[in-house]
Amino acid sequence: QSVLAQPPSASGTPGQRVTISCSGSSSNIAINIVNWYQQFPGMAPKLLIYYNNQRPSGVPDRFSGSKSGTSASLAISGLQSEDEADYYCAAWDDSLDGWVFGGGTKLTVL
Amino acid sequence: VQLMQSGAEVKKPGASVKVSCKASGDTFTHQYIHWVRQAPGQGLDWVGMIKPSVGKKKYAQKFQGRVTLTSDTSTSTGYMELTSLTSEDTAVYYCIRDYDNKGPGYWGQGTLVTVSS
């Protein structure tokens, strides 16, 4: 049972816009930054979004993050086949005094 | 930023494992090094973090008493030791350097730890 709740799966067709949600609480997302990670099978995760909505250099601007209250979202516009991967949200939790992750969302490009 | 982790390990139940993580350049000392594990087919599980410059550490509650994070600033290497291993500890263990003090950012390649009798 993950502290941050994500849908287990999401899908879209090429060119479409897809959003992945991440639901938390008053001790994590509401008061701390949210990061997003992308993971391909057999590979280490990669930082996709940090500080709620910032992209590290090299990450396409098709990827965007947002946060409102106790929830955060990752949006992918102009969906491409190479976006098919697992996506995880993460945030610091003041009650647990540590980082917590969502359970991950498997994105399928149809 | 590059993080190079030690190789795969196979351990028996009850044993301990120590995984190393060598960081490039001066990127090691002043930011947190995190450890995260991923069991086969499962999600990411934060283990703990250490700031090598001051030795400050935090551990996830579920690993308290079983995990020890250490670092050697002279060699820019971090270590994670996990004791009293069970089959449930079978996972890939990642070390990750903070991204500009904003949480886990740069990931190592991962170290597979298999616990089996």
C-alpha–C-alpha distance, residues A17 and A62, integer Å: 9
**What are the Cα distances from residue B15, in Å, to A102, B19, B53, B80, B83?**
30, 13, 30, 14, 6
Residue A72 has pLDDT above 80, yes or no: yes
pLDDT for the residue numbered B25: 63
Query: What is the pLDDT confidence band of residue A10, given thresholds at 50, 70 and 90?
Result: very high
Contacts of A1 (CB under 8 A, 6+ apart): none
Chain B window 27-46: which residues touch A at a Cβ cutoff of 8 Å?
34, 36, 43-46
pLDDT tens per residue across all 117 residues of chain B? 899 999 999 999 999 999 999 998 666 778 999 999 999 999 999 999 999 989 899 999 999 999 999 999 999 999 999 999 999 999 999 999 999 889 999 999 999 999 999
A103·B45 Cβ contact <8 A: no
Of B44, B49, B110, which has the smallest distance from its Cβ to A88's Cβ? B44
pLDDT for the residue numbered B111: 98
pLDDT for the residue numbered A64: 98
C-alpha–C-alpha distance, residues A100 and B52, integer Å: 22
Residue in B2, B1, B5, B37 with CA at minimum distance from that of residue B21: B5
B67 touches A: beta carbon within 8 Å = no
Average pLDDT on A44-52 reads 97
pLDDT for the residue numbered A59: 97
pLDDT for the residue numbered B88: 97
CA distance B108 to chain A (A): 7
Average pLDDT on A16-24 reads 98
Residue in A102, A56, A43, A48 with CA at minimum distance from that of residue A75: A48
Percentage with pLDDT > 90 across chain A: 99
Mean residue pLDDT of chain A comes to: 97
